[in-house]
Amino acid sequence: MKHQLKHTGRKGFTLIEVSLSMVILTIIMLVAVQVLDQTQRTWKRGVGNIEQFREARMAFNSITQNLREALLNTYLAYQYNESDTPTVPTSKSQAPERYIRQSELQFVTGQARDLLQSGQTDALSSPGHAVFFQARLGLSDRDGYENLRRLLCGRGYFLLHSDDEAFRPAHVNATRSRFRLWEYRPTAESNTIYSPQEGTRWFGDALTGVISGSDSIERPSFTRPIAENIVALIISPQVTSEDAEAEESVPWWIAPDYAYDSATAANTGINSPQGTQHMLPPRVVVTLVAIDESSAAKMAEKYPDSAPQLIPDGSFSRCSEMRADLQALEQKLVAEQLNYRVFSATINMRNSKWGLLR
């Protein structure tokens, strides 16, 4: 018996249709792979940036937290004369002239090359600003005093370009010259703050006391690097916007050139002969600029014998030009093809008694 196959009307895929489907599927897979690869690269780049700038972020947090605790312990005392020791009478019968603000502590900011020991550094090796102050940071080198967390200590921050010979591991032979953020942290027992007259530098050993090969647990250095690849540190003492309006001036009128020394009479007037002397600024604006390690390595290769000049000449010398100076610095970093980050914060000083000025 013969069977006849019935035609159902359904056709199979032609070779052209199969080939076209394979091509479309291949394109979809290629696009998916490219998207996945790009996503993975973006994620790795983001994680890498976080890792690269983690040290800078931690150092920035350390500066802001410690600066917030700065204090002067200002008090009122009798003034007997106009000498370097106005609170000391010249005779038993001398009568006081008036009350004046007085403090044995000091808060000072300015160009790092001016504040650090003269002849030891310059604008290239120590760019930007420095700040030195006292706070209850509880650092002691005496056994049993570890829990006295409110001991009064000096503290300071500045940048310095140098090699790592003094503190790199013994098994590492390659020398790395970098910009680093240094922290000056003498112990309470070494606090020589009680003569903050004009020209006095109680922090004079901040640069000479940097970590060296002879550093030990028994005799540690007071100055140590806390972050690498920090290329700019800008410190701007300011007042609140309300105080600026009251003075009909700008917030940085107390330190128009970034320099502020609480031990000297500055910003004086008819009704305020001491001006801002022995006063903490109400606010301090801190700006820190960091580059990543690959950028720093590029700079070290390009400038093997000296510190690279990333901050243009004359920058960060007038507060009124800070925005333009920062833009110029960023343009320089972009021109050098460097990856960078800018950290900035306005710190409200907890122990500022600015109301005494009114």
pLDDT digits (tens, 9 = 90+) for 261-273: 998 889 888 888 8
The answer to whether the beta carbons of residues 324 and 251 sit under 8 Å apart is no
The pLDDT assigned to 248 comes to 87
The pLDDT assigned to 109 comes to 96
The pLDDT assigned to 72 comes to 92
Above 90 in pLDDT, residue 85? no
- Across residues 190-202, what is the average pLDDT? 63
Above 80 in pLDDT, residue 170? no
Question: pLDDT-derived band of residue 322, with 50, 70 and 90 as boundaries?
Answer: very high
Alpha-carbon Rg for the chain, nearest whole angstrom, is: 30
Question: pLDDT-derived band of residue 208, with 50, 70 and 90 as boundaries?
Answer: confident
The pLDDT assigned to 335 comes to 93
The pLDDT assigned to 176 comes to 86
Question: pLDDT-derived band of residue 2, with 50, 70 and 90 as boundaries?
Answer: low
Contacts of 285 (CB under 8 A, 6+ apart): 234, 235, 236, 238, 344, 345, 346, 347
Domain ranges of the chain: 36-81+105-357
The pLDDT assigned to 21 comes to 82
The rounded distance, in Å, linking the Cα atoms of 294 and 291 is 8
φ/ψ bin of 146: left (φ > 0), alpha (ψ from -120 to 50), beta (otherwise) = alpha
Question: pLDDT-derived band of residue 119, with 50, 70 and 90 as boundaries?
Answer: low
More confident residue, 173 or 81: 81
Above 90 in pLDDT, residue 321? yes
Question: pLDDT-derived band of residue 15, with 50, 70 and 90 as boundaries?
Answer: confident
Burial class (CB in 10 A: 0-12, 13-18, 19+), 191: middle
The pLDDT assigned to 259 comes to 96
DSSP tag of 307:
-
Question: Mutual orientation of helices 15-52 and 54-68 as an angle, nearest 10°?
Answer: 40
- Across residues 211-222, what is the average pLDDT? 71
The pLDDT assigned to 353 comes to 83
**Tens of pLDDT, residues 41-77:** 666 555 556 667 888 999 999 999 999 999 999 999 9
Ranges 201-210, 238-247, 289-298, 303-312: which has the least confidence: 201-210
The pLDDT assigned to 329 comes to 94
The pLDDT assigned to 41 comes to 67
Question: pLDDT-derived band of residue 260, with 50, 70 and 90 as boundaries?
Answer: very high
Q: How far apart are the first and last CA of the chain?
A: 121
**Tens of pLDDT, residues 282-304:** 999 999 999 998 899 999 999 88
Is the CA virtual torsion 12, 15, 18, 24 positive or negative? negative
- Across residues 10-17, what is the average pLDDT? 70
The rounded distance, in Å, linking the Cα atoms of 253 and 87 is 29
The pLDDT assigned to 358 comes to 47
The rounded distance, in Å, linking the Cα atoms of 274 and 104 is 15
Is the CA virtual torsion 159, 180, 121, 155 positive or negative? positive
The pLDDT assigned to 336 comes to 92
